A and B are shown apart, each in its own frame.
Chain A
């Protein structure tokens, strides 16, 4: 099966090793006999309705994010339609913020987002930096462990009743206070976790791939053949130990 991936603004949003996430999708799809075709979508590129099974948005520095934000906001309709039609979407860090309704700067400025996720982000005084450990709140995998790294000044506040990615075991999460991390709408996931996210959380990569495959085939999501994932589990164990040890505490700069 061919899985069509739209990678949004890869040359602007790539600050936290987003290509690691793409590499994981490529290899895990290939191990199951599927082919991932990644198409960059950048300033001025048209987003064809129904042309992608999986959309990926990474994180960028403030300057780069400001550069692409208007272009992304102009795609709000197309992105929401894609998600409503069952395409999978993964947005990390800055991409997560930009797919909310908007970002309120410390000077009161408002950066319009694409509104895929029902949330808003407010710039904070300090950055929340460190290792993170979550327990998944996804209905497909309740309680499963997710380990990553976060580095964000924005406090993301979800509308009441929103689905999240996970409950924070160690670290800060969405806003450092709610105890939850990430957001889910249909087959769209947004999260602050990089590291990158997928190499050390392979089951999550497989879940998103199964959604993309479901969109590609038009059938319901089917679980993928398990892989050995020995190294992945080892990396996950080290990363979650780090979060338990030192997650959620301010780092001296």
Chain B
């Protein structure tokens, strides 16, 4: 380590301790921001210290869960530099690399927009790209814009870098075309196909010629087995697939994981087809690292949920289930998962509009809330934009007397719990910053532990 890097590392580590001491969260991004400010080139040097190199994971939806699943598989045998607290911008990556001093392998969840920068600086040995959905257009811009940035970044990867791509997303699969080291994953079970593309689906036009794709099966949003009737562009063949999928409602989902030359049954403790995609991505990147299928299966089966994505905690004689919502495709899957179980009697939906949530709240109109509105007995709208949610629900057909509006999150949580019968479960669907605040409230009441403690313990 150079003298300069050593000095920067020492300073930043001290900042992390101070930040934690001052109760400003887990000290997860401040040291990285400091290094980033002092010397962005330090990140390159930090990444080069990792003897096993780095793995980069990005996607609109599921990057946190995918990375956490990969960690469950890898951590028993390898020391990881893993940014497990959701700090996924370049500064968060810098912090992780700084603080994980004796790590062998970097496991980096990266924000879609930060992918080119992090690729350039850390030169990962594996790049795993999951999906692209419309998300926070005020922040990320249009889907094509992100895809264009990814395309340029992938073009600059070394030939030896393995790209792991979701073959079921045309915009992502096309990025790997013409590359040598590629693993393609996808779902191969037409019985799980949806009735059709959901409202406002993305990427439904051929990436080559613009003609609408024809789908043999639609799995999640625009992900599926597609074929262009005009030019013939189609989903590439799958190296790693999920077959014979069996949903167990909110309790989990089972599937057969098929890899070249081997297959195994996996029972995930997380629900939903979207988590099958996350498991496929994690399995694929671990296979690319040379991990055995047995280890992959046991890691996936051991895995519980990633921070705030699907968390259940006890609140006296009731339970609270937290399901993060952040964009139409992700929210639709969360809602679909709820409907596969017994629809809960009371649901709290929390909408904030800070930068991390997206300042533009129009996306809630593209979420298919209607089945929930038809079945839940009571819905509590909360968060800074509770009034906007209330309009979404009433124009979506919810009777005014079944709707309660409480902008304060804590009041809404209390009201939701009061409306939930003892022994039953309250479902809470928050956007990102609302999730953070609700978790903090839950922690203050002794429902759960803070996330940085939990991350260490796992």
Contact = CB atoms under 8 A, between A and B. Distances in A.
A231 B391 contact: yes
B362 A196 contact: yes
Contacts of A237: 387
Contact of B366 (A17, A199, A200, A246): A17
Given A17-B365, A151-B137, A235-B387, A199 B210 contact: no
B239 interface: no
Contacts of A62: 142, 144
B249 to A, nearest CB: 29
Interface in A60-80: 61-64, 67
B141 A253 contact: yes
A138 interface: no
A127 B405 CA distance: 34
A38 interface: no
B143 interface: yes
Interface string B383-397: 011011011101110
A14 interface: yes
Interface residues of B, number: 36
A137 interface: no
B51 to A, nearest CB: 35
Nearest to B403: A231
Interface stretch (A19-27, A166-174, A218-226): A19-27
A248 to B, nearest CB: 13
Residue from the set B200, B355, B364 with the largest chain A CB neighbour count within 10 Å = B200
A221 B353 CA distance: 38
B113 A253 contact: yes
B363 A17 contact: yes
Contacts of A16: 137, 360, 362
A195 B385 CA distance: 12
B360 A63 contact: no
A104 interface: no
Contacts of B205: 63-64, 67
B361 interface: yes
Contact of B138 (A63, A67, A149, A200): A149
Contacts of B200: 14-15, 17, 19
Given A231-B387, A235-B387, A253-B141, A19 B359 contact: no
Given A151-B360, A253-B113, A63 B144 contact: yes
Contacts of B366: 14, 17, 19
B141 A27 contact: no
Contacts of B360: 16, 129, 149, 151, 194-195
A140 interface: no
B265 interface: no
A252 interface: yes
A246 B210 CA distance: 38
Given A16-B137, A16-B362, A200-B391, A61 B142 contact: yes
B138 A194 contact: no
A27 B362 CA distance: 18
B156 interface: no
A96 B260 CA distance: 51
Interface string A146-158: 0001010000000
Interface string A203-234: 00000000000000000000000000001101
B359 A235 contact: no
Given A61-B143, A67-B210, A238 B359 contact: no
A138 B405 CA distance: 33
B139 A17 contact: no
Contacts of B141: 127, 253
A17 B395 CA distance: 13
Contacts of B392: 20, 199
B391 A232 contact: yes
A20 B359 contact: no
Contacts of A15: 134, 137, 142, 200
Contacts of A129: 138, 360
Interface in A84-105: none
B199 interface: yes
A251 B199 CA distance: 28
Nearest to A197: B362
Contact of B361 (A63, A195, A253): A195
A64 B210 CA distance: 9
A131 interface: yes
Nearest to A238: B387
Residue from the set B143, B205, B387 with the largest chain A CB neighbour count within 10 Å = B387
B365 A251 contact: no
A100 B73 CA distance: 56
Given A251-B359, A253-B139, A17 B391 contact: no
A29 B360 CA distance: 27
Nearest to A252: B355
Contacts of A14: 199-200, 366
B386 to A, nearest CB: 8
A12 to B, nearest CB: 8
A17 B199 CA distance: 10
A20 B355 contact: no
Nearest to A194: B362
Nearest to A12: B205
A161 B394 CA distance: 40
B144 to A, nearest CB: 5
A252 B359 CA distance: 12
6 contacts: A24-B395, A127-B141, A149-B138, A151-B137, A242-B353, A253-B141
Given A67-B205, A235-B390, A251-B359, 5 more contacts: A19-B365, A63-B144, A149-B361, A200-B388, A253-B113
Interface of A: 11, 14-17, 19-20, 23-24, 27, 61-64, 67, 127, 129-131, 149, 151, 194-196, 199-200, 231-232, 234-235, 237-239, 242, 246, 251-253
Interface of B: 113, 134, 137-144, 199-200, 204-205, 210, 353, 355, 359-366, 384-385, 387-388, 390-392, 394-396, 405
